[in-house]
Amino acid sequence: MSEQGARASGGPRQASAIFAATLDLLAEQGYEGLGIESIASRSGVNKTTIYRWWPSKDAVLAAALVHSDLLAFAMPDTGSLRGDLLALTREITQLLTGEQTAPIVATVLAAAPRRPELAAVAHTFFAERLTREQPMFQRAIERGELQPSVDPAMIMDLLAGAIWFRILLRDQPMTPEYLSSAVDLVLQGTAATR
Nearer to its own copies, 20 or 106 (CB): 106
Shortest Å, Cβ 123 to its own copies: 5
Q: Which is nearer to its own copies, 135 or 161 (CB)?
A: 161
Please, which residue, 138 or 188, has the CB nearer to its own copies? 188
Which residues of the chain form contacts with its own copies (CB under 8 A)?
Answer: 30, 32, 103, 106-107, 109-114, 119, 122-123, 126-127, 150-151, 153-154, 156-166, 168-172, 178, 181-182, 184-193
Q: How far is the CB of 151 from its own copies (least distance, A)?
A: 7
| Residue 9 vs 124, nearer CB to its own copies | 124
Q: Least distance from C-beta 38 to its own copies, angstroms?
A: 16
DSSP 45: -
CA neighbor of 137 nearest in space, from 155, 112, 125, 157: 155
Whether the CB-CB separation of 78 and 87 falls below 8 Å is answered with yes
H-assigned helices in 68-175: 81-97, 101-111, 116-142, 152-164
Q: How many angstroms separate the CA atoms of 56 and 50, rounded? A: 9
In angstroms, what is the minimal distance from the CB of 76 to its own copies? 20
Distance CA 35, CA 15 (A): 16
Q: Which is nearer to its own copies, 70 or 106 (CB)?
A: 106
Shortest distance (Å) from residue 53 CB to its own copies: 24
Return d(Cα 190, Cα 156) in angstroms, integer.
12
Phi and psi at residue 30, in whole multiples of 5°? 80, 175
Closest CA to 39 of 16, 15, 21: 21
